[in-house]
Structure 1
Amino acid sequence: MIDIAQSGTVTRLTLQRPDKANALTADMMAMLADAVEAARDAHVLILTGAGKVFSAGMDLDAAKDGLATSPVWERLSGAIDAFPGLSIAALNGTVAGGATGMVLACDVRIAVPQARFFYPVMKLGFLPQPSDPARLAALVGPARARLILLAGQKIPAEAALQFGLIDEIVEDGDVLARADALAEDAAAATSDHVRAIKAMCAFH
């Protein structure tokens, strides 16, 4: 369900459940969190998905078993946020619901033109994960965060770029090639250099 690939100083994590739009189960979440925590010595972390959807969010059967309130969501987004190197979300398609948290925690977000972004917590009756609204508001501003979370709006890639929710639309759709290109400088630098510049970019 999760493919972990290491190439030099770059770790790539791929959601591998394309037949279910990469909907997240408890096992997948735990595997992702374990993998991110284990990758702390890497210079670059790339998150992506197999198929045409990055993730449809939480698996609805898993939601019935309590995944919506599991601490694993915060564990994962916190681990990505604490990753000392460059983290890149290479979004091969739409991002929905709780999957948004890991994307918001990344340093850089790139997406295919057909990607959409929505977090239907109002409609489904769940609260967003605790750190997600603050990270979302930091990127797009409080009003647009409310547009997504309270009004339940689906945001197309062009609007997401305008909002600051993503940093680049990859017009040819090859987000992995673009992520690899973005990773080159950090991958080739020393670990201390990468960590120092990442720390200097942190919010205070």
Structure 2
Amino acid sequence: MIGVMREGGLLVLTLQRPDKANALSKAMLSDLLAALDDPPQVLILTGEGRVFSAGADLEEAKAGLATDPIWDQLSNRIATLPSLTIAALNGTLAGGAMGMALACDLRLAVPGAKFFYPVMRLGYLPQPADPARLVALIGPARAKLILMAGAKIEAEEALAWGLIDRIVVPEDLLTTARALGADVLAAIPGHASAIKRLIG
């Protein structure tokens, strides 16, 4: 349910459960973590179908996945990679799946994508690292709109807020993500990670 494609220093990880809106199971999260054991120069996260991810698989969420530390393990792993990390969001992003996108350096989204994190309504806390990353991008009031008021943010508003960096038509999404990683792939080893450390 996870597609793994390596091409030189590029790693593309694709959520492949479109019939379930790419809802994430524990096995999928484990596979994503395992795929990052050998850090690439450029990581692209994307999904199949019209939804990037609806968050946790509902049955597994009820059985404990909603509060499993693996969500933070994955997002923290992405955040600390010495790589350029790009979330190429092929559609709506919801719930705990937002953590991996927030942990990326860049976020692209298709027109019509929506962003929401319904932890208040569902009675869960967000994953521990997610609120601070959300605040760093959009500020505390807007983070409360999403996490406490249950706001669903459309792509255009998400771009204006800084939650995403570009809106890209679906047919150009991966091409654009690859183009953004081209300079990193062409650089000498370690150069990109040195710049990333300087940015903080």
TM-score range, shorter chain: over 0.9
Partner letter of residue 10 of structure 1? L
Q: What is the DSSP-based 3-state SS (H/G/I as helix, E as strand, rest coil) of the residue aligned with 1:109?
A: strand
Runs of 4+ residues over 4 Å off in structure 1 = none
Q: Kindly report which structure 2 residues correspond to 1:48-197, keeping only aligned pairs within 5 A, or say none.
A: 48-171=46-169, 173-197=171-195
Deviations for 1:12-33, whole angstroms, at most 9, x for unmatched residues?
1000000000000010111111
Q: Shift in Å at residue 39 of structure 1?
A: 3.2
Identity %: 60
Decide whether aligned partners of structure 1 residues 59 and 175 sit closer, same or farther in structure 2, where only a CA change above 3 A counts.
Answer: same
Q: What is the DSSP-based 3-state SS (H/G/I as helix, E as strand, rest coil) of the residue aligned with 2:181?
A: helix
Q: Is the 8 A contact 2:87 2:107 kept in 1?
A: yes
Partner of 1:22: 22
* TM-score (ref. length: structure 1): 0.96
Shifted more, 49-58 versus 167-176: the winner is 167-176
Q: Is the 8 A contact 1:112 1:174 kept in 2?
A: no
Q: Shift in Å at residue 201 of structure 1?
A: 1.1
Q: Shift in Å at residue 106 of structure 1?
A: 0.1
Q: Shift in Å at residue 173 of structure 1?
A: 4.5
* TM-score (ref. length: structure 2): 0.98
Partner letter of residue 194 of structure 1? A
Q: Shift in Å at residue 149 of structure 1?
A: 0.4
Q: Which runs of 5+ in 2 are unaligned?
A: none
Deviations for 1:7-62, whole angstroms, at most 9, x for unmatched residues?
111001000000000000010111111112x231x110000001110000011001
Query: Root-mean-square deviation (CA), in Å?
Result: 0.9
Partner of 1:12: 12
Q: Shift in Å at residue 99 of structure 1?
A: 0.2
Q: Is the 8 A contact 1:96 1:118 kept in 2?
A: yes
Distance 2:161 2:139 in 1: 8
Q: Shift in Å at residue 172 of structure 1?
A: 5.4
Counting matched residue pairs gives 200
Distance 2:111 2:38 in 1: 29
